[in-house]
Amino acid sequence: MIKVGIVGGTGYTGVELLRLLSRHPDVELRAVTSRKEAGMKVAEMFPSLRGRVDIAFSTPEDAKLTECDVVFFATPHGVAMAQARELLEAGVKVIDLAADFRLKDPAEFAKWYAMEHSCTDLLAEAVYGLPEVNRAAIQSARLIGMAGCYPTSVQLGLLPLLENGKKLIETTGLIADCKSGVSGAGRKAEVGTLFAESADNFKAYGVKGHRHSPEIMQGLSEIHGAPVQLTFVPHLTPMIRGIHSTIYARLTEEGKNTDIQKLFEERFANEVFVDVMPAGSCPETRSVRGSNTARIAVHRPGNGDLLVILVVEDNLVKGASGQSVQVMNLMFGLNEQHGLDVVPLLP
Amino acid sequence: MIKVGIVGGTGYTGVELLRLLSRHPDVELRAVTSRKEAGMKVAEMFPSLRGRVDIAFSTPEDAKLTECDVVFFATPHGVAMAQARELLEAGVKVIDLAADFRLKDPAEFAKWYAMEHSCTDLLAEAVYGLPEVNRAAIQSARLIGMAGCYPTSVQLGLLPLLENGKKLIETTGLIADCKSGVSGAGRKAEVGTLFAESADNFKAYGVKGHRHSPEIMQGLSEIHGAPVQLTFVPHLTPMIRGIHSTIYARLTEEGKNTDIQKLFEERFANEVFVDVMPAGSCPETRSVRGSNTARIAVHRPGNGDLLVILVVEDNLVKGASGQSVQVMNLMFGLNEQHGLDVVPLLP
Amino acid sequence: MIKVGIVGGTGYTGVELLRLLSRHPDVELRAVTSRKEAGMKVAEMFPSLRGRVDIAFSTPEDAKLTECDVVFFATPHGVAMAQARELLEAGVKVIDLAADFRLKDPAEFAKWYAMEHSCTDLLAEAVYGLPEVNRAAIQSARLIGMAGCYPTSVQLGLLPLLENGKKLIETTGLIADCKSGVSGAGRKAEVGTLFAESADNFKAYGVKGHRHSPEIMQGLSEIHGAPVQLTFVPHLTPMIRGIHSTIYARLTEEGKNTDIQKLFEERFANEVFVDVMPAGSCPETRSVRGSNTARIAVHRPGNGDLLVILVVEDNLVKGASGQSVQVMNLMFGLNEQHGLDVVPLLP
Amino acid sequence: MIKVGIVGGTGYTGVELLRLLSRHPDVELRAVTSRKEAGMKVAEMFPSLRGRVDIAFSTPEDAKLTECDVVFFATPHGVAMAQARELLEAGVKVIDLAADFRLKDPAEFAKWYAMEHSCTDLLAEAVYGLPEVNRAAIQSARLIGMAGCYPTSVQLGLLPLLENGKKLIETTGLIADCKSGVSGAGRKAEVGTLFAESADNFKAYGVKGHRHSPEIMQGLSEIHGAPVQLTFVPHLTPMIRGIHSTIYARLTEEGKNTDIQKLFEERFANEVFVDVMPAGSCPETRSVRGSNTARIAVHRPGNGDLLVILVVEDNLVKGASGQSVQVMNLMFGLNEQHGLDVVPLLP
């Protein structure tokens, strides 16, 4: 049994980790920390876990995280980088669901997250947690910076077109018009995500610049082996879970002569968590609700030179906690699907 | 033109007052205060008011409220009682949408609102703002404690059965099972009313005791001229606006021999904001969305001795801001409907 | 492996059965019928089942249901009673999720469902599918009429107070004020349950009389061993899944002297799918979303004689498909929880 | 008083027309037809109109539409073109909210709406109902084909950039990624727009080709005076009302050297129903809920060559019924704002 600790179990990625790990056959949950809620039973805060999770929140001090095999950080940005070194030195693997180990350039991190990076050596070592892109590196890593929710969907949607220097689409002028459910904003008391503010409403945000923009471009450029330029426009949509990314790319001549549907199907044929839909499909976010699957459909309207790629995922599962369990499975040599065999909840 | 000031314009009852007053033909909006947002254009915070409300939030000091004819308090409990005396002494009428002047017994106020009442003489003078019950007193009042959202619906639903000592229903054992949209919780940053917490969810709350319980019983007892006992169970339902009260009352023998439908129709025949639906109807909250109307239907399932009364209102309009404009109209001798001729928004 | 057939797989109880049975370790899904969709892959209609359910809808003729061990009817009322005899005679167990085998009195059935009952002998034999009430009878039954969604919640909420002739509450004048998500209305094309009709809206319906009313009273009377009278008022609330029943009962003197919390806790101590919440709790429907659990809390406001019982369930799981899998497990001597270990999806 | 008839008053554009016209100071509502509901009071079907609209639905025969001054068609496609000639010949002005008179090319109409156009001479005469583009033509027209909901938002968003042959953006490769509330699908009984299908869900649809695509390109090409090519991808979002269009355009060198914010502000300075938001804004759909206003914001992320234009409107008001009242006002020489002074409902 893998001894697991969770730092920061009171947010949505935390409770989602608990939902998944409480049924994971190879996991023993050792500690869930929350300085503020220390002493309170986890299932008192989240009654959905009654009978599933019996432990209480503990302080970081009481949690004895160095005795775990792996520690997940489901915390605000900045927490993991302050605690990772001690854990790693104690032989504990670290999986950070926040952004501390995503951006490789410390200056970029400082610019977008308004804090200096405190352990740039670890940043250099950290592996980006997107299994479909770098499974091998994850398997041998001890420190993971999990991919963000939007970046996961956009990178999966462009992966077959860009990897290994392919010339199927123009690599500038890409557009990702993304729509997220409100849980993506986290479980923080804020006016903007109150029910009465965000229900029956739709809006864009962060058009001037969003933290996931540099992460997406870093990821795509690495996949491609050359710079890729993309405009990212996120929107807030009145649903709890789900991300729908609509990605627009200009086909090159080579791209126009390629069977894109087949390309996608073959690229993801062995990926258990990526489902390429039949030609002509429009995937719905609810078709992946609660599951670790991303579904992708590719369209070429009017047989023109514009490719429209539709990607759906559950932002809290494939976009966060589920993917981090997938990563944990890889790090410990388990079947990638362990603990993740949830059938989506529809309706 | 009536010169109007609003204290606390950043909450839902505040913006709703602005929506209604900005179209009121007899009103000149002089000041909207918010210490925190002073200097910001009201329409910057609420873009729905662009082109409708041109003033900026001001500090209470700059607002010169004593130069107004009437001041609305759309504030947390406790604010109006601290400022009312100065305004009244300057000849300004005061309408409090919070609870400072609702409960007549200062001890009850202290018990339910966890603060001492600071001006019990004014409390004694204050008139309860429920026009269908005490229109005359409102017309001559200078200080109003507006009825709460739930209490408005429950009192209107029982009014014809209880007023003037009528013996049509048992006056103990009454039940009000009420359901409110989330805007009823206000525009405060709180976890419990986040979209991702309250969407696709339903729950009761405050079953042990809710502040509106003593207010309802005080009101009903006054209407009846004798004590009335009622159990009030509020619930939160995933919609923005609307209250649906399902009220259960045991008919007396006299009640069983009374045409209750006719009783309701006659009682409210001259009330422009109370609509008695045809027998057998089930009013929907959306049928009053955005309007100052309450709709009522009465049922007697199986022709038994249990009366089921259904009342819907928009909690922000008839349950708060709209009713306070109705009260203002009465206080200034205007047509009760001025500024309130909004057709409900359906769908 | 239990060979399972499903008649009527295109509605919500059908797709929910598929969600649960596709992961059931002891089940082999043999056929899902739909005359209208015959030939279409089940997963084409419900993409959430891609990779989980590989079979196509078949006509009833092609389905060879008589070769199954058990057949579920997830159909409109009237279908199961037309097909049950042939299956039973072939040795197939039958579980009807519709109402054909719920009401014991054929006259009552005819009155509420507007059709004559075509096999009253089977009706007499059928066992009511509510395991917490009659587990033993279910274990040895070959024909089950599953409890309805509302009736499950109301009966569970009153079970400890009424069973075996207990005198803890008055058995007339009971009230069940119930609120259901919109999926309870089924997956039929109807104006009233369109998104734009039922979102941001709340209403009662069926106040004059609802089919679940006689079912509830039949069940409670059987539990109690004497007639029980209850008024049932259902409401539609804008969420997809979930039922919240608020039940009001007058305590007798004996009831007032009983520790009701303890009574409930002891009664359900061995029931894996009924969770009695700590005193003072208000269960949320989302705390059971997607799971077969019902959660119950009991309140006695102001320590008076009115008991308020709050029950939540997922109408499609404990209120329908999940409970029918629980029943199947019992009929085949399996662990009651097999295939039902879903952790609720929160948020 | 203008005598008004409405053909097809049972859908969402119909009830929305009734909401607006019932308060219009210059309108006398003469008839609302519905063959199916003839005889039923309009306010019985739509209780929101109780006390506002007293007439009943009538058959087309009883409606005496030829005695009206203007008739609105709020009907499925194909109805208006069958009845327009008779009305026009009787001197009645006709405003069609459906698509019969939108596409100028009968072949295009036949292709997208799967029916032959039955009066191509009237089609040639008909004026496209988008006042900000062709106000003068509307003022003198007797037959209007109202702009569609999506086309209104996209054309307003691109108008200042394209009109009169301007060379500010590339006129091929334009993208309109549009999101609509569910009321856009109409008040028809269909499975896909049930609450339980479309709540908590997000999807694209019609990616292969949508009827509004040729309408948008026809409109933009006319505005520009030369062909314009645009890819239109509509999405369904779980809200009742509202369209949010996110439009992507490549700036030319001339465009990069133009103050786009100022261009938009000046272009719409005299348009009472188009609100250009301050630079950096992200308009919300709720900021126009129930009103005839469209709000627009323009962004140039990273000061690059991609322009992102955000447009919000209420699909039932500016996108349909409200705009048709605006058009009626113009046709009858009234103030454009008459009957349309609704303050948006927020929250």
pLDDT in tens, A104-146: 999 999 999 999 999 999 999 999 999 999 999 999 999 999 9
pLDDT tens digits, one per residue of C253-302 = 999 999 999 999 999 999 999 999 999 999 999 999 999 999 999 999 99
Of C12, C189, C195, the CB nearest to D199: C195
- C199 shares contact with chain A (CB less than 8 Å): yes
pLDDT tens digits, one per residue of C33-70 = 999 999 999 999 999 999 999 999 999 889 999 999 99
Give the active site residues of B. Answer: 149
The residue ranges of chain B whose pLDDT is under 70 are none
Active-site residue, selected from the candidate residues C68, C119, C149, C178: C149
pLDDT attached to residue A164 = 87
ipTM over 0.95: yes
Q: pLDDT class for C164, splitting at 50, 70, 90?
A: confident
Two structure tokens written together for B167: 């013996």
- Distance from the Cα of A332 to chain D's closest Cα (Å) equals 35
- A208 shares contact with chain B (CB less than 8 Å): no
pLDDT tens digits, one per residue of D89-145 = 999 999 999 999 999 999 999 999 999 999 999 999 999 999 999 999 999 999 999
- Distance from the Cα of A322 to chain D's closest Cα (Å) equals 19
Contact A253/A197 with Cβ under 8 angstroms?
A: no
Q: Do D343 and B12 touch (CB under 8 A)?
A: no
Show residues of chain B in contact with A200, CB under 8 Å: 240
Show residues of chain C in contact with A46, CB under 8 Å: 346
Mean pLDDT for chain C?
97
Mapping DSSP onto H, E and C, the string for chain D reads CEEEEEECCCCHHHHHHHHHHCCCCCEEEEEEECCCCCCCEHHHHCHHHCCCCCCEEECCCCCCHHHCCEEEECCCCCHHHHHHHHHHHCCCEEEECCCCCCCCCHHHHHHHHCCCCCCHHHHHHCEEECHHHHHHHHHCCCEEEECCHHHHHHHHHHHHHHHHHCCCECCCCEEEEEEECHHHHCCCCCHHHEHHHHCCCCEECCCCCCCHHHHHHHHHHHHHCCCCCEEEEEEECCCCCCEEEEEEEEECHHHHCCCHHHHHHHHCCCCCCEEECCCCCCCEHHHHCCCCCEEEEEECHHHCCEEEEEEEECCCCCCCHHHHHHHHHHHCCCCCCCCCCCCCCCC
- C183 shares contact with chain A (CB less than 8 Å): yes
Two structure tokens written together for D328: 């009626």
Residues in chain B, total: 347
Show residues of chain C in contact with D199, CB under 8 Å: 182, 195, 199, 238-240
- A180 shares contact with chain C (CB less than 8 Å): no
> In terms of DSSP H, where are the helices of chain B?
12-21, 42-45, 79-89, 106-113, 120-125, 131-139, 149-162, 195-198, 212-224, 253-256, 260-267, 321-331
- B202 shares contact with chain C (CB less than 8 Å): yes
Neighbour count for residue C165 (Cβ, 10 Å)? 10
Q: What is the mean pLDDT of residues A80-90?
A: 97
Of B51, B316, B341, the CB nearest to D23: B341
User: Does the predicted model carry a pTM greater than 0.90?
Assistant: yes
- Distance from the Cα of A31 to chain D's closest Cα (Å) equals 32
Q: Do B189 and A191 touch (CB under 8 A)?
A: yes
**What subunits touch chain C, counting only 3 or more CB pairs under 8 A?**
A, B, D
Of D198, D200, D240, the CB nearest to C200: D240
pLDDT tens digits, one per residue of A252-294 = 999 999 999 999 999 999 999 999 999 999 999 999 999 999 9
* Cis peptide leading into residue C227 (ω within 30°): no
- D177 shares contact with chain A (CB less than 8 Å): yes
Contact A108/A214 with Cβ under 8 angstroms?
A: yes
* Residue B50, phi then psi, degrees to nearest 5: -60, 130
pLDDT tens digits, one per residue of D177-214 = 999 999 999 999 999 999 999 999 999 999 999 999 99
Of C15, C343, C346, the CB nearest to A346: C15
Exposure string (b/e) for C105-131, b if CB count within 10 Å is 16 or more? eeebbeebbeeebebeebbeebbbbbb
- Which D residues in the span 23-82 are in contact with A, Cβ-Cβ below 8 Å? none
CA angle, D51 then D57 then D63, to 5°: 120
Mean pLDDT for chain A?
97
Pick the CATH number of C2-147+320-331 from 3.40.50.720, 3.90.1150.10, 1.10.3720.10, 3.30.420.10: 3.40.50.720
Of A181, A207, A240, the CB nearest to D299: A207
Measured between CA atoms, the residue of chain C closest to residue B249 is: C173
Measured between CA atoms, the residue of chain D closest to residue A229 is: D304
Pick the CATH number of D2-147+319-331 from 3.20.20.210, 3.40.50.970, 3.30.470.20, 3.40.50.720: 3.40.50.720
Show residues of chain D in contact with B340, CB under 8 Å: none
pLDDT attached to residue C251 = 98
For a pLDDT cut of 70, what percent of chain C falls above it?
Answer: 100
Of A231, A237, A347, the CB nearest to D306: A231
Rounded Cα–Cα distance for residues D256 and B68 (Å)? 50
- Closest by CA to D203, choosing from D182, D188, D186, is D182
Q: What is the mean pLDDT of residues C4-21?
A: 97
Q: Do D285 and A203 touch (CB under 8 A)?
A: yes
CATH number of the domain at A2-125, please? 3.40.50.720
Show residues of chain D in contact with B48, CB under 8 Å: 286-289, 291, 343-346
For a pLDDT cut of 90, what percent of chain A falls above it?
Answer: 99
Gap between the terminal Cα atoms of chain D:
35
Q: Do A191 and B194 touch (CB under 8 A)?
A: no
* Residue C111, phi then psi, degrees to nearest 5: -65, -45
B–C CB contacts, 8 A cutoff, strictly below: 138
- Distance from the Cα of D266 to chain B's closest Cα (Å) equals 16
Two structure tokens written together for A63: 């949690």
Rounded Cα–Cα distance for residues A317 and D187 (Å)? 35
pLDDT tens digits, one per residue of C101-149 = 999 999 999 999 999 999 999 999 999 999 999 999 999 999 999 999 9
C173 Cβ contact partners less than 8 Å away, ≥ 6 residues apart:
B250, B306, C229, C231, C250
pLDDT attached to residue D113 = 95
- Distance from the Cα of D234 to chain A's closest Cα (Å) equals 10
Q: Do D200 and A244 touch (CB under 8 A)?
A: no
Q: Do B235 and C301 touch (CB under 8 A)?
A: no
* Residue C338, phi then psi, degrees to nearest 5: -55, 130
Residue C234 has pLDDT above 90, yes or no: yes
For a pLDDT cut of 90, what percent of chain D falls above it?
Answer: 99
Of A48, A284, A341, the CB nearest to C344: A48
Two structure tokens written together for C314: 């997922």
- Distance from the Cα of A243 to chain D's closest Cα (Å) equals 8
Rounded Cα–Cα distance for residues B196 and A11 (Å)? 11
- Distance from the Cα of D224 to chain B's closest Cα (Å) equals 30
pLDDT tens digits, one per residue of A146-203 = 999 999 999 999 999 999 899 999 999 999 999 999 999 999 999 999 999 999 999 9
Of D48, D316, D343, the CB nearest to B287: D48
Q: Where are the domains positioned within chain D?
A: 2-147+319-331, 150-313
- A15 shares contact with chain B (CB less than 8 Å): no
Show residues of chain D in contact with A285, CB under 8 Å: 201-203
Give the active site residues of D. Answer: 149
- Distance from the Cα of B339 to chain C's closest Cα (Å) equals 25
Show residues of chain A in contact with C289, CB under 8 Å: 48, 345
Q: pLDDT class for A86, splitting at 50, 70, 90?
A: very high
Show residues of chain A in contact with C15, CB under 8 Å: 346-347
Superfamily of chain region A150-313: Dihydrodipicolinate Reductase; domain 2 (3.30.360.10)
- Closest by CA to B321, choosing from B140, B187, B165, B123, is B187
Task: Give the mutation candidate from D180, D182, D200 for the A interface (greatest A CB count, under 10 A).
Answer: D200
